[in-house]
Structure 1
């Protein structure tokens, strides 16, 4: 279906777009993020539908979602999501640039050879320059190192992030998937240079709670914000797998992100029990899973990936009910840990 240059009308954002979305402070910084942010990991590649992708971002912004999250290698192919976002930005969002938080990342494989991966200064500086060109931007609001590099000295990687801020190519910097101790070291190195580690982007969901083993406490001590990705565990924490594995699911079509073997009868039973609690709360399973993350005030925002504007609206609706009773939390904990 591919991306094309067809226009779908001049875009004017909803006047009341800021009326209902809660905004949270990103650690001890001046930056506020919407409770729900949108990620462009899927559905923005060259094989995806232009009109649909454009409508997703319009719907997001119209409901107060001001944060669009990308990375250099989102696609397919690598770079495609940034290119397509750049085209949508030019068509719809350039007048609203100062109302948007646009982020990108580098750290995974991007181009061939020794300089297109991990965390060297050579890679990070070059990658961000390419990202800015693809998106048609002068700067990003947040630039992340996408994953730890076991071989490059941390001082070099953090030095590159500091340099990027000094050059005005990013307003804030962050890291993703760093464990607690490495996060502490990264924050200290940046602090010594005069740059704040503003935000950490960890994978976090009801079913994947590694961040609770020290990382969230470390972020709280530092005053570093946290934005959780994969909150729905690649679709497991939705109604998609309540009756097993449908033929059209990602687990069947693309095993890179979710293996069929992971969806066991035991897991389906857990999700069914969690879904019963969600129904009692007047929420979908996905909405409750997002709300469960946002119950922790240290979580600045939750990143959602959606395939339609309807899904976007459903996820935003989560913010209508973020409170849990002690009984609900206890029951959820019992199910998850069983």
Structure 2
């Protein structure tokens, strides 16, 4: 375990003007407002990562009005370590401000060996959340998600487990991730009938991956469910990072689990270059434009960003200041994406 915090940061006092920094948007038809940018701890918060940097990123997020921190049981590596890291940051810095935070975690992917540490059974979901709460030192999370559809477990069992977790007081709200439009509608009805409405859906969505536009966004709008888009930058492809080749320190080189080098094709880079030109004409970085492009649709409550340094986070936050696109800009973007 990396305990690289022997040079402790000064006592944390958050920015007094933090709630004037970033706009908030209502999550579906709930009472919850979320910042337009949320911080995900999928990468860069494991035991092998620099704790001081992780701590600085979380502090920077809160100082800029980001109140929503998104985790999952198996974020790391190793599994569980991102939650442990976040728990340490809560203990050192943010515990006093717990009631100003929206903390989410998930279960649905493989977490421990055997038949009860994966997918969507009642046993797995309830046991996993109990473990997550211990790792973070929390009595409850604000949002607990089922992380992916389970084709073999009845939807009634999975949604019943989410309802039970809320009634236990271990989560205030529940959500789902990566469900298609049809299953989202079914899940929403089951939860509504149980008395625990679905607060939010977390789909993968970006300029290069637009599956949510084929019905899911319509379901979310009709059902009054919020949406938080993850992988908004296509694992870094929708930035200027790869325009001139693949840097040696990039994720594509260091960790090929989520971004394979063969995905960064000449055709993709040509599109990225043209999109970058449009972004520059808008006075934005390509990363900022990719985030703004998602948020132009008000059914997207917030965009979930993952960063490795505070400068990236600040750059992403600035995207929330320019969400307006002209018809000409939108047409130019579509022309590039459909080429």
Length-normalised TM-score, structure 2: 0.98
Matched, 1:85 2:86: yes
The answer for the alignment partner of 2:223 in structure 1 is 222
CA distance in 2, matches of 1:247, 1:93: 35
The answer for the alignment partner of 1:277 in structure 2 is 278
The answer for the alignment partner of 2:303 in structure 1 is 302
CA distance in 2, matches of 1:211, 1:62: 32
The answer for the alignment partner of 1:13 in structure 2 is 14
Q: Please state whether the residue corresponding to 2:200 is helix, strand or coil.
A: strand
Deviates more, 1:300-309 or 1:317-326: 317-326
Gaps of 5+ in 2: none
Matched, 1:2 2:2: yes
The answer for the alignment partner of 1:157 in structure 2 is 158
CA distance in 2, matches of 1:49, 1:254: 16
Equivalent runs, 1:1-338 vs 2, <5 Å: 2-6=2-6, 7-338=8-339
How much has 1:10 moved relative to structure 2? Answer: 0.7
Deviates more, 1:247-256 or 1:160-169: 247-256
Q: Please state whether the residue corresponding to 2:19 is helix, strand or coil.
A: coil
CA distance in 2, matches of 1:14, 1:20: 10
CA distance in 1, matches of 2:39, 2:172: 19
How much has 1:322 moved relative to structure 2? Answer: 1.1
How much has 1:299 moved relative to structure 2? Answer: 0.2
How much has 1:164 moved relative to structure 2? Answer: 0.5
Q: Please state whether the residue corresponding to 1:299 is helix, strand or coil.
A: coil
Contact 2:5–2:52 (CA<8 Å) still a contact in 1? no
Deviates more, 1:207-216 or 1:256-265: 256-265
Contact 1:37–1:67 (CA<8 Å) still a contact in 2? yes
CA distance in 1, matches of 2:50, 2:252: 21
Q: Please state whether the residue corresponding to 2:220 is helix, strand or coil.
A: helix
How much has 1:248 moved relative to structure 2? Answer: 2.2
Deviations 1:36-68 (A, max 9, x none): 000000010000001100000000000000000
CA distance in 2, matches of 1:176, 1:18: 28
Runs of 4+ in 1 over 6 A off after TM superposition: none
How much has 1:244 moved relative to structure 2? Answer: 2.6
Contact 1:244–1:268 (CA<8 Å) still a contact in 2? no
How much has 1:5 moved relative to structure 2? Answer: 4.9
CA distance in 1, matches of 2:211, 2:235: 16
Contact 1:3–1:84 (CA<8 Å) still a contact in 2? no
How much has 1:137 moved relative to structure 2? Answer: 0.5
Gaps of 5+ in 1: none
Length-normalised TM-score, structure 1: 0.99
Deviations 1:287-323 (A, max 9, x none): 0000000000000000000001111111111112111
Deviates more, 1:2-11 or 1:227-236: 2-11
How much has 1:213 moved relative to structure 2? Answer: 0.5
CA distance in 1, matches of 2:285, 2:54: 23
Contact 2:34–2:68 (CA<8 Å) still a contact in 1? yes
Q: Please state whether the residue corresponding to 2:30 is helix, strand or coil.
A: coil
CA distance in 1, matches of 2:302, 2:256: 28
Contact 1:44–1:75 (CA<8 Å) still a contact in 2? yes
How much has 1:192 moved relative to structure 2? Answer: 0.8
Contact 2:252–2:260 (CA<8 Å) still a contact in 1? yes
Contact 1:41–1:81 (CA<8 Å) still a contact in 2? yes
Contact 1:120–1:152 (CA<8 Å) still a contact in 2? yes
